[in-house]
């Protein structure tokens, strides 16, 4: 059977790359397509940053940029209005948090509830490093004691004994 791609190996490799590429494209295609007119490119940049950082209250694991839920659309409209009205990022986030709680931020402020979220990774890495240190130190101590003179002699004898 004739292959169109250059060979069996490159063929399957190409297929994998193609699949992965398609996969990437499908993720990008989730973003909702809408058109908003911004008075300046800077506002548009901030719109994209904020809409990706704000979480949709209805469909919980999507940001408002990706979600098709009506509430996400409403929040995008509010976001555009507030950006055009000259609100700062902090003011906009405060507006959203006042209504939907700290939940709406994918980067919540550090407080009592989110402390674990913020500090757990550092603590876990620290704990891992300490565990590793103990592990390797323990290994160093486990080296067997040196052989005594009689043991060395016996070993030597055994090594040189060709009859074994």
Partner 1 sequence: MWLIRVSNLQARRFLPLLGFGLLSVLLFRGLSLDPTALPAARLGQPFPEFVKLELQSGEAIGVADLSQRPALVNVWATWCYSCRVEHPFLLELAEAEIPIYGLNYKDDATKARAWLGQLGDPYALNIVDAEGSLGLDLGVYGAPETYVIDQEGTIVHRHVGILDARVFAADFAAWFPPVSVGATSRARKGSVAQ
Return residues touching partner 1 (CB under 8 A). Answer: 57-58, 60, 70-71, 74-75, 78, 97-103
Between 75 and 83, name the residue whose CB sits nearer to partner 1.
75
Query: Shortest gap between Cβ of 153 and partner 1 (angstroms)?
Result: 26
Nearest distance from residue 57's CB to partner 1, in Å?
Answer: 4
Tell me, letter by letter, the H, E, C secondary structure of the chain: CCCCCCCHHHHHHHHHHHHHHHHHHHHHCCCCCCCCCCCCHHHHHHHHHHHHHEECCCCCCCECCCCCCHHHHHHHHHHHHHHHCCCCHHHHHHHHHHHHCHHHECCCCCCCCCHHHHHHHHHHHHHHHHHHHHHHHHHHHCCCCCCCHHHHHHHHHHHHCCCC
- Shorter beta-carbon distance to partner 1: residue 35 or 60: 60
Q: Pick the closer one to partner 1 by CB: 47 or 57.
A: 57
Closer to partner 1 by CB, 47 or 72: give it: 72
Smaller CB separation from partner 1, 11 or 101? 101
Minimum separation from the CB atom of position 154 to partner 1 (A): 24
Output the smallest distance, CB 10 to partner 1, in A.
44
User: CB of 104: closest distance to partner 1 in angstroms?
Assistant: 9
* Distance between CA atoms of residues 105 and 96, nearest Å: 9
């Amino acid at each position: 059977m004739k292959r169109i791609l250059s060979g069996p190996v490159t063929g399957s490799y190409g297929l994998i790359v193609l699949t992965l590429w398609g996969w990437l494209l499908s993720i990008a295609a989730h973003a909702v397509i809408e058109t908003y007119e911004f008075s300046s490119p800077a506002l548009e940049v901030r719109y994209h940053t904020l809409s990706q950082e704000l979480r949709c209250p209805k469909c919980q694991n999507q940001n408002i940029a990706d979600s098709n839920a009506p509430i996400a659309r409403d929040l995008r409209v509010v976001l555009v209005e507030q950006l055009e009205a000259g609100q700062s990022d902090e003011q906009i986030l405060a507006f959203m948090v006042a209504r939907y709680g700290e939940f709406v931020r994918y980067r919540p402020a550090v407080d009592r509830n989110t402390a674990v979220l913020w500090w757990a990774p550092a603590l876990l890495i620290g704990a891992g490093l300490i565990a590793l240190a103990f592990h390797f130190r323990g290994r160093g101590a486990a080296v067997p004691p040196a052989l005594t003179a009689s043991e060395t002699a016996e070993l030597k004898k055994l090594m040189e004994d060709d009859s074994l």
